[in-house]
Structures are given as C-alpha cells and as structure tokens.
Amino acid sequence: MNVFLTIAGIEPEAGGPSRSVPCLAHHLALMGAEVRLKSIGNDAVCKDNLSYGLDLYMFDRSFMGRMNAIDRMVRDLTAEVCEQAGRSVVHDQGIWLMNNHAAVAAARKSGTPLIISPRGMLEPWSMNNNALKKKVAWQLYQRCDLESSSLIHVTSQQEADNVQKLCRKPVAIIPNGVDVPVWRERDSSSSGRKTILFLSRIHPKKGLLNLVSAWQKIKKTGWKIVIAGPDESNHRQEVEEAIREAELQEYFEFTGPVDDVAKWDLYFQSDLFVLPTYSENFGIVVAEALACGVPVITTTGTPWKSLHTHKCGWWVDVGVQSLADALASALACPDSERRDMGVRGREMVESSYGWSKIAGEMLSAYEWVLHGGSPPPCVRIY
C-alpha cells in the first residue's frame, strides 16, 4: 500500500500534528507501508535516516512563494498517485488552508481515496474563532472538500461527535500515539521547589490567563510554574503582564521553545502537568506527561476523561475556579499519592497509546477505504 501524508508544516513550533504526523509516517513504514510525507517546509527539518520518504516544498515568506510551493506539491502528488492508482490513499492533515484544498483536488482528480484529519479545526472553539472567515470558506469549498473524502479521521469520540454535526461521513476514531520514554527517577528541582509544568504553544486558546488567575487564588509556597513553548500572536507578553499585575513573578518561569531532548527532561523534572486549554481534539502533551509518570490537570475542553476514570489526574470544567480547586487538590496530595497517580497514567498510555497499536488501526482504516468490506472496529458509519 502507498500512503501519501500531506501537511502544512512539520516545524516543531507548528503544534502537535507537526510531531505526531511524522511519527505516524515512521510507524506506518515500519509496518510495511510505502509512505511519503509531503509538507510545505523549511531547511530546519531533519531529513536524515528516515524510514519514509519526505518531500519538503521550500518557499520564501511571500504569499506568491507559498502558492508556488503548494502548486509544486500538488502537481507532484497528482502524478505520483496516478502512477500508483488503486494502491494508494491520500491522508491530508487539517482543513481551511490552500494546501489542504490542493491535496483534496489532487485526490479527486486522480480518483484516489481521501482521508481527512481535521486536527481539532472543527471543534466549537475553533469554529467560533474567526467565525466569519470560516463561514465563507465553508460555503466556498470546505464543506465540499469534506464531503469528497472517503473517511474522516478524528482522535476522540468527542471530536467525532462534533464532526458529525457538520458532516455525516464515516469516521475513524484513532488517537495519536506516544513513544513512551525509558523510565527515569524524578529529578529534584535545584531550587528546592516542586514544579508544575505547562508545555504547549503560548496561545490564547491554551488558557494561560485562567492559570494565572487560578494561581492567584492559591499561591502555594514551595511550588513554581514553568511555562515552556513557542509564543504565538505575542500572547506571552499578555500573560507576563497578567503575572506582574497579580504580583506572582516569583512563581512563574518561562523557558521559550524547547527541542525534543529538553522536552523530555522537563517532563521528568516536573511534579505536576497542567493544560488549562479551552479546546483540544487530543492534547498530545497530556499523553507525553502521563508517559513520564506525571499526573495531569486539564479541562473538559480535551477528551481526557480517562484521567478521572484511571485516577491519574484531574479533568475539570474550563474556568478559573474549577482550575484553582484542582490545583489545590493536587498540591494537597502527599508526594506518594502523586507518584502512584503517575504510575497509573504511564500504564494507561503504554496500554492504549503505543504507536504500533495506533499505526495498525490506521492501516486497517486505509485498507477499508481501498478495498471495502466490513469496517474495522475503529471506523464508525453514521
């Protein structure tokens, strides 16, 4: 089978899919698929020792430069899927952007089965962000693009429910995978304080202003909050201003963007992970923190109800008071109880989110759209 994965960008600062999609490509290739990942990219992406084919379409930062890169990508994609007709699928990541529309056009022109992963872009919070632009795009092309797909891939039942309100197509519910790291004993903070980690894009959607307000309510001595990740839309300045106004500077530390090595170090140096987000279709950082044995606080804007059912964290309503209550509860736990929660979280990730399991489910979905028959367990037909 030939799998063509298409995505807008795989630079680390592009968010969760920039990491999960290359991992998916790698594990699909390990299971015998011929995989090509096509991305609008830059020279910062490592292309050495890959188990799959990677095509990066470089461009200058002008609008016309980007459009030229998209045109080159879609011409190559069309030619390659036509050459492999009947043995290929196109799996596009995201919606709305011109590279997404172009990938759909290439699949349609060649008659190749198309899978679309909205990557959270059909969630209510995302749909209400720049709502007018999206309403126009929905009517112009996006509804038609989704309707032309053979299958829509989502990462949770919550995302599936939201997709089905807009587009009644078969849905594959397959979460992102996690490469579970080798276990390390927790590193103690050199400052002697325990660490709460936030690791994600610094973006209004992530709820950092709620975190500042919640921390103002409890201000627990002996703890600090580390905020790691790239700034978007200059939101870091807004968060820092809120911290100063609340006179909480001694509790907060910003690291800026972190690479993969530093990321795992941060997880293993932390005692608690927090993602106070308004909306996530999955939230790969939650799974990564759990894989490192770190209990997690996140919101019902994510699909992580299993934090509650597996007793490895707190899954609370979006908002300041519910977040403050969860933080107070977590910080009041004895160290031994938080460690036990972390062990349960790691066991859950190992059993449910290992990449070999996830890649196998994805391959079964691809086989179904190519050859038909009874849908695999991961596919729902509404």
pLDDT tens profile 300-327:
999 999 999 999 999 999 999 999 999 9
Which pLDDT tens digit goes with each residue over 250-263?
999 999 999 888 99
The percent of residues above 70 in pLDDT, for the chain, comes to 96
Q: Which of 52-56, 91-95, 345-349, 354-358 has the lowest mean pLDDT?
A: 52-56
* Domains 2-177+354-380 and 194-352 alike in fold: yes
Nearby residues of 345 by Cβ (< 8 Å), 6 or more positions away? 289, 290, 291, 293, 294, 295, 296, 307, 310, 312, 313
pLDDT at 324: 98
pLDDT of 83 above 80: yes
Q: In residues, how long is the chain?
A: 382
Which pLDDT tens digit goes with each residue over 347-372?
999 999 999 999 999 999 999 999 99
pLDDT at 3: 96
Q: Which of 56-65, 132-141, 363-372 has the lowest mean pLDDT?
A: 56-65
Closest CA to 26 of 10, 44, 42: 10
Arithmetic mean of pLDDT over the chain: 92
pLDDT of 14 above 80: no
Copy the structure tokens of residue 176: 């992102």
CATH topology for the 2-177+354-380 domain? Rossmann fold (3.40.50)
Q: What angle separates helix 355-371 from helix 17-30, to the nearest 10 degrees?
A: 80
pLDDT of 342 above 80: yes
pLDDT at 261: 87
Quick one: average pLDDT of 214-233? 95
Q: Which has the higher per-residue pLDDT, 273 or 84?
A: 273
Which bin fits 313, alpha (ψ -120 to 50), beta or left (φ > 0)?
Answer: left
Query: Which CATH number does 194-352 carry?
Result: 3.40.50.2000
Domain boundary assignment for the chain: 2-177+354-380, 194-352
